[in-house]
Amino acid sequence: MTHSIEEHIITELDMLKTITDSEEGITRLAFTDMDWRGRDYIKSLMADAGLTIREDAFGNVIGRLPGRNESLPSIMSGSHTDSVPRGGNYDGVVGVLSALEVARLLQDETGKSTIQHPFEVVIFMNEEGSRFGAATLGSRAMVGALSQEDLDRLVDKTGVSLRGALTSRGLEPSAIGESLYQNPIHSFIEVHIEQGRVLEEHKIPLGVVTGIAAPTRYKLTLSGRADHSGATPMSMRQDAMCGAAEIILKVENLAQAASGCSVNDVASADLDSNVMPPIETSASITPVVGTVGTVSVRPGAMNVIPGQVELGIDIRSISQVAKVQVCNELTSFIAAVCEKRQLTYTMDTIADETPVAIDEEMINLVGTSCEDLGIEYMKLPSGAGHDAMNMAEKTQVAMIFIPCKDGVSHNPQEVASVQDISTGILVLESLVRKLDIL
């Protein structure tokens, strides 16, 4: 059975590797042609596996294996197939292929389900925030947390709105409310690569996630004066770039302070041991990470003082309290910097999500599934956001982490072993069967 699983995974990953907009790595930005081709390929696999397929108003795809008792709520599993620019071939995809393989394993020789509950495999659209600056949009739509205003507010670098992207795919943006999943869901499980190196460092084949960090993201625009770099004295400048430089460093400083470290600590630390501690061991000091991932400078000439700078800021934590504190301090600092430097600014909140603590019962069920199969595991939090955190608004959730080589993700060098993926699939199947009788 395991050999068959590995054959499926290798074949399907190899096929998905060819569906990309870039020569290096995987590029399937949300709602682009390549994203749609990847989605269509998974739909063909769902059909071959005997699943019935439906799509909601946001384009999320749900493949259903009817249960022996169709009146029961569905057990759901899946992830996403869109990517960051020049990303890897495992992020998100592993969760979708794992759920699909479990759908096969749950069927008897006649193609009928061997469990009571319906089992659904889901592809969430637009999980990555690369195109529109906001992530996990498909799962947000499914739980009713995506508004008509969001469809107009979220715009990509070419000026295409999320509404326009939906329309281009033959979807009806005005019906976005119909994406809300109306029926009860028994539980949701997401298999995902860790996107860090904790499991690999500890030589552990599987992780049981205890909580999911969530981001707050801002688009900050600083405006000054684009004057001549030679003819304008230093005392008369309104340099938006210098203001941005102060703010970029403050993001780093605030995150380090909230996590109980400084830039000197990080520089002198053994980086191999610098990992986010589990939620339960972080009582007084909670890890916060802060990133300025995009910088756009106008007019962008060497001999012109920057008149406008746009920053993309991402603040994340497993603690809502810690995250809010950092965001509040950053907001106050930005106002002070702009006043000092005679800059004006606008600060738009692109995303503001709440961290999720996974129920102890679900954590223990995943752990028991590992133990029953003789698989070693460890508990750890997720520093990255996932669709599971939105699904937690609707049902109980669990997450299973697969190691990835060197912790590399969002990168062409992203790799997870087929053996580890197969291990995750067997644990997922065991967990689904346990949930089926609860």
Q: What is the pLDDT of residues 3-62, one digit of tens each?
A: 699 999 999 999 999 999 999 999 999 999 999 999 999 999 999 999 999 999 999 999
Residue 149 lies in a domain: yes
Shared domain check, 378 and 339: no
pLDDT in tens, 353-397: 889 999 999 999 999 999 999 999 999 999 888 999 999 999 999
> Does 138 share its domain with 240?
no
Asked if 120 and 153 sit in the same domain, the reply is yes
* Residue with the larger pLDDT of the pair 262 and 434: 434
pLDDT at 273 over 70: no
> What number is the average pLDDT over the span 165-178?
96
pLDDT reading at 260 higher than 90: no
pLDDT for residue 280 is more than 90: no
Report the pLDDT value the prediction gives residue 276, as an integer from 0 to 100. Answer: 37
Select from 134, 156, 160, 158 the least CA-distant residue to 146. 134
Predicted confidence (pLDDT) at residue 316 exceeds the cutoff of 80 = yes
Do 145 and 219 reside in the same domain of the chain?
no
The whole-number average pLDDT for the span 395-405 is 97
Domain-ending residue, one of 311, 327, 352: 352
- Of the three residues 312, 332, 352, the one that is the final residue of a domain is 352
Query: pLDDT at position 133, please?
Result: 86
Domain of residue 61 covers 2-213+356-436
The pLDDT of residue 274 is above 60: no
The verdict on 62 and 199 lying in the same domain is yes
What is the mean pLDDT of the segment spanning 175-189? 95
For position 291, which CATH number holds? 3.30.70.360
Predicted local confidence at residue 271, as pLDDT: 32
Instruction: Tell me what the mean pLDDT of segment 401-410 comes to.
Output: 96
User: Is 139 inside a domain boundary?
Assistant: yes
pLDDT of residue 353: 86
State yes or no: pLDDT of 281 exceeds 60.
no
pLDDT of residue 285: 55
Q: Does pLDDT of 286 surpass 90?
A: no
Residues 173 and 163 both lie in one domain: yes
Share of the chain above pLDDT 70, in %: 93
Count Cα neighbours of 78 within 13 Å in the Cβ-side half-sphere: 30
Residue 146 has pLDDT above 90, yes or no: yes
Spell out the residues 6+ positions from residue 27 whose beta carbon is closer than 8 angstroms to its own. 20, 21, 34, 83, 84, 85, 86, 87
Q: Is residue 261 part of a domain?
A: yes
CB atoms within 10 A of CB 3: 8
Residues 248 and 289 grouped into a single domain: yes
* Least confident among 132-136, 137-141, 369-373, 403-407: 132-136
140 falls within a domain: yes
pLDDT band at 262 (very low <50, low <70, confident <90, very high): low
Question: What letter represents residue 282's amino acid?
Answer: S
One domain for residues 409 and 312: no
pTM for this entry: 0.83
Whole-angstrom distance, CA of residue 187 vs CA of residue 358: 12
What total of structural domains would you count in the chain? 2
pLDDT band per the 50, 70, 90 thresholds, residue 351 = confident
Among the candidates 352, 371, 393, a domain finishes at: 352
In this prediction, residues 277-282 reach a mean pLDDT of: 37
The CATH number of residue 15's host domain is 3.40.630.10
Task: Give the angle subtended at the CA of 300 by the CAs of 299 and 306, to the nearest 5°.
Answer: 65
Residue 200 is predicted with a pLDDT of 95
Compute the mean pLDDT over every residue in the chain, rounded to the nearest whole number: 93
Q: 317 with 226, same domain?
A: yes
pLDDT of residue 265: 47
**Do the beta carbons of residue 414 and residue 406 sit within 8 Å?**
no
> What average pLDDT score do residues 126-134 get?
93
| pLDDT of res. 259 | 84
Residue 274 lies in a domain: no
* Domain assignment present for 275: no
Q: Can you give the pLDDT at residue 96?
A: 98
- Reference 384, options 82, 131, 137, 91; nearest CA is 91
Same domain, 109 and 188: yes
CB 5 within 8 Å of CB 425: yes
User: Within a 10 A sphere around the Cβ of 177, how many other Cβ atoms?
Assistant: 12
The pLDDT, as a whole number, for residue 68 is 98
Are 310 and 393 contained in the same domain? Answer: no
Q: Is residue 208 part of a domain?
A: yes
Residue among 299, 294, 328 at smallest CA distance from 240: 299
Neighbours of 18 (CB within 10 A): 11
Cα gap 193→431, rounded to integer Å: 18
pLDDT in tens, 183-240: 999 999 999 999 999 999 999 999 999 999 988 999 999 999 999 999 999 999 999 9
d(Cα 331, Cα 252) in Å, to the nearest integer?
14
Please compute the mean of the pLDDT values over residues 82-90 and round it to a whole number. Answer: 97
pLDDT of 101 above 60: yes
Task: Say if residue 75 is in the same domain as residue 221.
Answer: no
Whole-number percent of the chain with pLDDT over 90: 89
pLDDT of residue 272: 36
